[in-house]
């Protein structure tokens, strides 16, 4: 999931974190595709999970401070995503990573991140930059 300027939301600190999330997702995906050991893959998804939690927290602070009207709705979307990543992590801890995992990462993580950034986060960016 290559980072490109179309994914920018116009809040530099958040854009930097989004780029980092894309890079971390790629590392995780590559490790699964190249058949790295279970522990290494679990470490990569744990790292991604922790970074995502921190990123969502930072993004929610921006929303709260600006009085963003969709704060609660957006927070619930973030929480649902964290839950899915945690479920995927549990599954990898239990069963290891396979070709099925690669498909799940693409749909659960990659597609979600791209859609969320382009939809909810860019909407937030427009709101902040209009103020």
Residues that bind Fe ion (CB under 5 A): 121
CB of 39 to Fe ion, least distance (A): 30
CB of 17 to Fe ion, least distance (A): 10
Rg (CA), the chain: 15
- Nearest alpha-carbon partner for 55 in 128, 113, 104, 107: 113
CB of 117 to Fe ion, least distance (A): 7
DSSP per position, 21-79: HHHHHHHHHHHHHTT--HHHHHHHHHHHHHHHHHHHHHHHHHHHHHT-TTHHHHHHHHH
Phi, psi at 8, each rounded to 5°: -65, 140
For Fe ion, which is the closer residue by CB, 15 or 121? Answer: 121
Q: In the chain, count of helices (H) and strands (E)? A: 6, 0
For Fe ion, which is the closer residue by CB, 14 or 41? Answer: 14
Q: Which residue is nearest to Fe ion (CB)?
A: 121
For Fe ion, which is the closer residue by CB, 61 or 102? Answer: 61
For Fe ion, which is the closer residue by CB, 68 or 97? Answer: 68
CB of 74 to Fe ion, least distance (A): 6
């Amino acid at each position: 999931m290559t980072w490109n300027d179309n994914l920018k939301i116009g809040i530099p600190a958040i854009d930097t974190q989004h780029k980092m999330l894309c890079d971390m997702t790629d590392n995780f995906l590559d490790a699964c595709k190249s058949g790295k050991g279970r522990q290494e893959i679990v470490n990569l998804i744990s790292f991604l999970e922790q970074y995502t939690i921190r990123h969502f927290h930072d993004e929610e602070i921006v929303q709260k401070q600006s009085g963003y009207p969709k704060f609660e709705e957006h927070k619930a979307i973030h929480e649902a995503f964290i839950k899915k990543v945690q479920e995927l992590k549990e599954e990898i801890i239990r069963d290891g990573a396979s070709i099925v995992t690669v498909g799940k990462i693409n749909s659960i993580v990659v597609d979600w991140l791209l859609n969320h950034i382009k939809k909810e986060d860019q909407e937030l960016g427009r709101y902040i930059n209009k103020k």
